[in-house]
Amino acid sequence: MRTLRAGAACASIAVMVAGLGAYVVASSAVPQEKTIRIVSERFNYSPAEVTVRKGVPVILEFTTKDVLMGFNLPDFEAKVDIVPGKVARLRLVPDKTGTFVFLCDVFCGSGHEEMNGRLIVVD
């Protein structure tokens, strides 16, 4: 499962070991992973449609304006709970193209069944 808790998604420096030498690469030297912020509130996500590239890592960053929410992307077995007052992050490396439904999997009221969106993965 590609579920990551808040704060655990992004390494700012990378350590590379080659032979007997070790190299510390500053974060500015590696491509910055794109962060997409998604705000949830009863009963929608904003944005509700997110486009990413296949094979390109992306950080999805979630907050909720009101109650406990969920983000579940079943086709990638990726899910995270969105707790009020906290930022939830989920790192995703899409390995297939297409349009995939994501949904709230924490019951949040009368519009819960309609609370979903689409992840579009392109080449």
Partner 1 sequence: MAGIDRRDFLKLAGIGGAGVVFGSALPGMAGAAAQDDFYFVQLSDTHWGFEGPPNPDAKGTLKKAVAAVNALEQQPDFIVFTGDLTHTTDDPMERRKRLAEFKDIVAGLKAKTVRFMPGEHDASLDNGKAFREFFGSTYYTFDHKGVHFIALDNVSDPRAAIGDEQLAWLAADLKEQKADAPIVVLTHRPLFDLAPQWDWATRDGAKAVALLMPYTNVAVFYGHIHQEHHHMTGHIAHHAAKGLMFPLPAPGSQPKRSPLAWDPAEPYKGLGFRSVGVDKPAGFRLGEFPVQKKG
CB of 25 to partner 1, least distance (A): 38
Q: Which is nearer to partner 1, 33 or 41 (CB)?
A: 41
Q: Which is nearer to partner 1, 38 or 115 (CB)?
A: 115
Q: Which is nearer to partner 1, 55 or 109 (CB)?
A: 109
Cis peptide before 47 (omega within 30 of 0): yes
Distance separating alpha carbons of residues 33 and 20, to the nearest angstrom: 29
Q: What angle do CA 40, 8, 28 make, to 5 degrees?
A: 105
Q: Which is nearer to partner 1, 63 or 116 (CB)?
A: 116
CB of 46 to partner 1, least distance (A): 18
* Unique residue bearing structure tokens 């077995």: 77
Using an 8 Å Cβ cutoff, are 108 and 42 in contact? yes
Binding residues for partner 1, per CB under 8 A?
Answer: 68, 70, 72, 74-75, 81, 101, 103-110, 112-114, 116
β-sheet bridge partners, residue 101:
118
CB of 77 to partner 1, least distance (A): 9
